[in-house]
């Protein structure tokens, strides 16, 4: 396995190129290292390489890593979160990237001690295997969530399908970006919606060109 530091160097170069192509500043991009496949040792190597944001998609993985590293880094919960597990993560994360239903919003609101930054997960591609709201359900959902005062909608998140077709990927990311802009323009107090969490190891350059502000990299950065 390559050193995380070496992987990071290559990824930073690629981020730079994608930003140059799309006239963006690399400082706008938050790189989240997804440690779900790897050990504590490899996670430590990731932190030592300079990664300040880590993502986990399962409660058990999150707790294992959080109990070890605590607040040395910012934590992002990126996977489906069961309602009964909300109380075990909500106090210790910087952002929840997978808000996808009212029952979850209600439970987060009930359990949290202060406001929680959330991304609404959108199933742009319409694949049945993917979690998230259908695009045309997103705005009504965000309007309904206004009554849960601790929910702060900071942006939208999607997972693109596992395909090589770059035009199709670009289309998926572009649609999420358009939806984000529409919501942002509404200037809802509980939904500034300024961020886009999109782009993984296979597609982050395209995601950046389409406006991603948070990319989530597991296999190519940390390992799998």
Ligand X SMILES: *Cc1c(COP(=O)(O)O)cnc(C)c1O
Binds ligand X (CB under 6 A): choice among 159, 169, 183, 191? 159
Binds ligand X (CB under 6 A): choice among 169, 172, 200, 212? 200
Sequence length of the chain is 224
Q: Which residue is nearest to ligand X (CB)?
A: 218
CB-neighbour burial class of residue 113 (10 A; exposed 0-12, middle 13-18, buried 19+): exposed
Using CB under 6 A as the binding rule, whether residue 11 contacts ligand X is answered as no
Using CB under 6 A as the binding rule, whether residue 74 contacts ligand X is answered as no
**185-191 contacts, C-beta under 8 A, 24 or more apart:** 188/142, 188/143, 188/146, 188/153, 190/145, 190/146, 190/149, 190/151, 190/152, 190/153, 191/142, 191/145, 191/146, 191/152, 191/153
User: Which is nearer to ligand X, 180 or 216 (by Cβ)?
Assistant: 216
Question: In angstroms, what is the minimal distance from the CB of 192 to ligand X?
Answer: 22
User: Which is nearer to ligand X, 141 or 204 (by Cβ)?
Assistant: 204
Using CB under 6 A as the binding rule, whether residue 36 contacts ligand X is answered as yes
Question: In angstroms, what is the minimal distance from the CB of 222 to ligand X?
Answer: 8
Binds ligand X (CB under 6 A): choice among 4, 19, 29, 34? 34
Which DSSP string do the residues of 93-112 spell out, in sequence order? -SEEEEE--HHHHHHHHHH-
Which span (86-94, 142-150, 184-192, 200-208) binds ligand X, by CB under 6 A? Answer: 200-208
Contacts with ligand X by CB under 6 A: the residue count is 15
Site for ligand X in 96-155 (CB under 6 A): none
Q: Is there a contact between 62 and 75 (Cβ–Cβ < 8 Å)?
A: yes
Euclidean distance between CA atoms 224 and 39, whole angstroms? 10
Question: In angstroms, what is the minimal distance from the CB of 88 to ligand X?
Answer: 18
* Strand stretches in 70-198, DSSP E: 74-77, 95-99, 116-121, 151-157, 195-197
Using CB under 6 A as the binding rule, whether residue 217 contacts ligand X is answered as yes
Using CB under 6 A as the binding rule, whether residue 79 contacts ligand X is answered as yes
Euclidean distance between CA atoms 48 and 223, whole angstroms? 15
Using CB under 6 A as the binding rule, whether residue 57 contacts ligand X is answered as yes
Question: In angstroms, what is the minimal distance from the CB of 187 to ligand X?
Answer: 28
């Amino acid at each position: 396995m390559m050193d995380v530091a070496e992987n990071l160097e290559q990824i930073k170069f690629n981020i730079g190129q994608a930003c140059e192509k799309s006239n963006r500043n690399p400082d706008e991009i938050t790189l989240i290292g997804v440690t779900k496949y790897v050990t504590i040792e490899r996670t430590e190597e990731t932190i030592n390489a300079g990664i300040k944001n880590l993502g986990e998609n399962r409660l058990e993985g999150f707790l294992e890593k959080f109990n070890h590293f605590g607040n040395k880094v910012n934590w992002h919960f990126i996977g489906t979160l069961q309602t009964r597990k909300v109380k075990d993560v909500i106090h210790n994360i910087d952002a929840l990237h997978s808000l996808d239903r009212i029952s979850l919003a209600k439970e987060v609101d009930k359990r949290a001690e202060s406001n929680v930054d959330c991304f609404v997960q959108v199933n742009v591609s319409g694949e049945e295997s993917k979690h998230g709201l259908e695009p045309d359900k997103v705005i009504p959902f965000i309007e309904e969530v206004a009554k849960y005062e601790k929910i702060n909608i900071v942006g939208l998140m999607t997972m693109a399908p596992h395909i090589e077709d770059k035009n199709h990927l670009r289309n998926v990311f572009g649609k999420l970006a358009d939806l984000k802009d529409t919501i942002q323009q509404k200037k809802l107090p509980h939904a500034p919606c300024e961020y886009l969490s999109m782009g993984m190891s296979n597609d982050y350059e395209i995601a950046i060109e389409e406006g991603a502000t948070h990319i989530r990299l597991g296999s190519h950065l940390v390992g799998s």
